[in-house]
Amino acid sequence: MRILIIAVALMATAVTAPRAENPAPYPGTETVRIDKPFAQYVKDLEAAIEANDMGIVARACADCGAQKIGVTIPGNRVFMIFKPPYAVRMLKASVAAGIEAPLRLYVTEEEDGAARLTYRLPSAVFAPYEVAELDTMADELDSIVTRIVADSRE
């Protein structure tokens, strides 16, 4: 009888619905729907990054890669941003925190063609290191990232 109960319990767990995706698994993750077409928003975000004196260290384009293999997916970009003075400060405070740079701004295309922006606040990115100098720098970066987001939406 005990084996039957265990077997029924195992089968019950095997047929439960899969868990839904958690779109913001990390603290400090912000997601904003942008009322602009994806392509226009990508240009506006680039301009806002430059206007706020941050550098675009790299860009990743998943839809570009998909096109190269003959697959079409909605627009998908990651902008990696940082600035040398912040890199120096970060590394002086914590070499281990170097894995967190550059900061990422993730733009995806919604079904209706509008853009959606997802990013993590720098204060949340650097908080786990528990270094006061990083916290100070991250607060400054929070202000910059917040301005970039606001400017890109105008």
Q: Which of 25, 29, 23 is nearest to 103 (CA)?
A: 29
Residue 1 pLDDT grade (very low, low, confident, very high; cuts 50, 70, 90): low
Does residue 116 form part of some domain? yes
Specify the pLDDT at position 97: 98
Q: Which of 88, 60, 58, 80 is nearest to 125 (CA)?
A: 80
pTM of structure = 0.84
Q: Is the dihedral of CA 124, 126, 130, 132 positive or negative?
A: negative
Does residue 57 form part of some domain? yes
Q: What is the CB-side half-sphere exposure of residue 22 using CA atoms within 13 A?
A: 6
Residue 106 pLDDT > 50, yes or no?
yes
Name the least confident of 9-13, 100-104, 115-119, 125-129. Answer: 9-13
Query: Helices in the chain by DSSP H: which ranges?
Result: 2-14, 38-51, 62-68, 84-93, 122-126, 132-153
**34/63 Cα distance (integer angstroms):** 19
Strand bridging mode 55-61 / 29-37: unpaired
Does residue 34 form part of some domain? yes
Query: Which residue is it, tokens 């392509």?
Result: 39
CA distances from 55 to 13, 33, 84 (A): 49, 24, 9
103 vs 22 pLDDT, higher one: 103
User: What's the mean pLDDT in 96-118?
Assistant: 98
Residue 116 pLDDT grade (very low, low, confident, very high; cuts 50, 70, 90): very high
Residue 4 pLDDT grade (very low, low, confident, very high; cuts 50, 70, 90): very low
Does residue 3 form part of some domain? no
Percent of the residues in the chain that have a pLDDT greater than 90, as a whole number: 82
* Domain assignment of residue 93, given as a range: 27-153
Specify the pLDDT at position 20: 66
Helix (H) or strand (E) holding 114: strand 114-120
Specify the pLDDT at position 22: 75
Does residue 47 form part of some domain? yes
Residue 12 pLDDT > 90, yes or no?
no
How confident is the model over 15-60, as pLDDT tens digits?
Answer: 444 556 777 678 889 999 999 999 999 999 999 999 999 999 999 9
CATH number at residue 50: 3.30.310.70
The number of folded domains in the chain is 1
Does residue 9 form part of some domain? no
User: What's the mean pLDDT in 143-149?
Assistant: 99
